[in-house]
């Protein structure tokens, strides 16, 4: 079996992963102030060029200091969020994608702001980009640290039901990117959206 792909271990974070700090608000963002995020990764094995790109929340928990770089993003809008708008201390949902069922598995924290993604230069990596140069890097990443699992797994189907209801009443999830910009692997959330989704972990399944 081909070796499992390991994300490059990030530098140790000094913050306490057991405490959820208040998200930091950027004053430089034009438009909605994206204070929180939703980041998608695949918890089940899938091979690209013979390398397993699986990386679920348990994999993050098993990394040194429960911290890893979020590499391999190859969408320009998602890249821009990580490079320009993600701030140290902001929170994100760890979302399991391309699995059954997809949904939110936990909470992570940004512990290092956007920097150059090394995988774009590695010809053996599935995310290699031969057109990117070190003088003019195309792709960026951030470091994230595990905070905690959600009290229960929040499935996509439940979030979609909420979204459909909120569209009718202009509720907190009426414009949530999970459904308005569904293809993005890194998505912005307002603090209102984040708080409402987080409140769902208390609901009965």
pLDDT tens digits along 175-195: 999 999 999 999 999 999 999
Instruction: Look at residue 55 and tell me whether its pLDDT is greater than 90.
Output: yes
Kindly indicate the confidence band of residue 124, based on its pLDDT and cuts at 50, 70 and 90. Answer: very high
Angle at 91 between CA 189 and CA 93, to 5 degrees: 65
Sheet containing 36-41: order of strands: 67-69, 140-155, 103-116, 91-96, 36-41, 186-189
Q: pLDDT tens digits for 1-34?
A: 433 444 555 654 444 444 444 444 333 334 456 7
Length of the chain: 205
Q: CA dihedral in degrees (59, 111, 39, 37; nearest 10)?
A: 150
pTM > 0.75: yes
Instruction: Look at residue 115 and tell me whether its pLDDT is greater than 50.
Output: yes
pLDDT at 9: 56
pLDDT at 72: 96
Give whole-number Cα distances, 74 to 15, 119, 184, 192, in Å. 28, 11, 10, 28
The domain limits of the chain are 36-197
Instruction: Look at residue 53 and tell me whether its pLDDT is greater than 60.
Output: yes
Q: How far apart are alpha carbons 116 and 43 in whole angstroms?
A: 24
For the chain, give the mean pLDDT. 88
CATH code: domain 36-197 is: 3.10.590.10
């Amino acid at each position: 079996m081909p070796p499992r792909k390991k994300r490059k271990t990030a530098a140790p974070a000094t913050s306490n992963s057991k405490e959820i700090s208040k998200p930091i608000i950027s004053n430089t963002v034009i438009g909605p102030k994206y204070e929180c995020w939703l980041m998608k990764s695949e918890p089940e094995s899938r091979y690209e060029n013979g390398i397993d790109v699986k990386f679920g929340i348990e994999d993050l928990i098993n990394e040194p200091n429960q911290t890893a770089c979020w590499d391999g993003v190859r969408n320009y809008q998602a890249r821009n969020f990580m490079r320009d708008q993600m701030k140290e201390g902001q929170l994100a949902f760890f979302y399991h994608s391309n699995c059954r069922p997809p949904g939110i598995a936990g909470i992570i924290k940004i512990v290092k702001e956007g920097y150059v993604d090394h995988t774009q230069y590695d010809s053996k990596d599935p995310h290699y980009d031969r057109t990117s140069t070190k003088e003019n890097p195309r792709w960026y990443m951030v470091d994230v640290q595990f905070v905690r699992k959600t009290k229960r797994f929040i499935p996509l189907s439940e979030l979609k039901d909420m979204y459909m209801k909120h569209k009718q009443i202009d509720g907190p999830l009426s414009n949530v990117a999970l459904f308005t910009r569904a293809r993005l692997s890194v998505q912005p959330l307002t603090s209102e959206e984040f708080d409402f989704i987080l409140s769902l972990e208390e609901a009965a399944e």
